A and B are shown apart, each in its own frame.
Chain A
């Protein structure tokens, strides 16, 4: 036990004396939250629009005002000519254009119907679809308001409600994703690097020639990163709660416990990688390419797993982050309890035991 204690002390010395790395480890979650929260958001805001208003009537002006007041659009310019639209698209000045025909006003009054044209830049299909949908909704609302006095019979009003995330905020999806990513990076990458470093620098040669139990060497490496990761979880939760307004609807204790479980899985994975590799280069490669990339792709936080073909959906099941992502979303956003997530918790526990056993089994008691 005393050996173990001294080992942990030593690991902390290593961490605290490499201040640049420590700074990166503690700063990374903050940077991730800021990047995903503000820069990489897939919500569309203030998209430039040009409005070709050939009608210039009271009704068309009202529609333009309505568009202008929406936070989704910013009017780039207005004209009565359709000729410049393509030029503006080519230059990338606008994302979408709306053409209001000359007879807009009269058509509404006379025939109760009119046609508008929406043209959008579909080089990014997601943005184009989203913008078109937003603009259609504005037009529909405008129609509803105009029609109020002389209501048409038999209209169907669809009332939608977005459960758990009424404002359709991206943060609700990426905060759990960032948590999984940061924990994986800190735990898997850093632990595998630190063990392999001892091999590379020759320290392991002395440790192996001493009576220390390999279990102690391995576990002592994991402890400081467990603590660092807990600090990182707290940072992420505080930032997302106070800055990104992401609520914590479920039990905070449960959220912490499952996070620690995921940390243990990641640590075990890092130790396993370090047991089977001999150089920091190899450990880095395996951690980043073999672990980190699939985590980003198959955890469901950027690409929805439901849309993937069957083989990829099957592969996604062996990615620990997928299960953690489901758990965090359930507990944090939906406010659900253990009764619902027990299956995922069980899977992660199994993974942890498997990786730890493998790491210890694969740990070499001799050189090469």
Chain B
């Protein structure tokens, strides 16, 4: 039995002769919080799309939650959750309707949805707002709710694409608290961010430059390796090497 829920070997994606992702390899363990960092245009989004089964790799191997990205992308989608800053919830549906809708997509029993929804609303202390439209909520709450919805079906892995962009510092921390709780339950968290202090909250981070992974380790080891006092400095040292102007 191995505990590796993401296994990636020499994964490559070429668009019209342009190598967006250039032979990346890494493994992520169950319950790990994995920070996936990189400069704009380094290939993060492309890599993430392949891992979610949305885009076919050109070559290489990727096993996500035990399923092959080439042949079993439908099974992958059932076993992962996804949330991004841009796409999350339907603004013109209420909180309850959004939860119901997303839970329904994953084929959860109506009875289970009902009990779990009540529990979730209690946890987020949104009892008063449960029947309010999502667009009436402050941004921070929306993001917290979106995350809860993304892990509602207890996926093995949740992919978070810049989940905290523009969120206030308190809510940002609340959000990370939720990430920790999810990880403690055994959900693997794969997260991208531009906040370098958030990179410190990850168990391990990788930094992509020009389609390749240039560094990958725990934040502590990376700081020692680059003799830097913070992840911000580590990132600046690595990403400055980028030649690609996209």
**When A and B assemble into the complex, do they touch directly, with CB atoms less than 8 Å apart?**
no
Q: Could you tell me which B residues sit within 8 Å of A by CB distance?
A: none
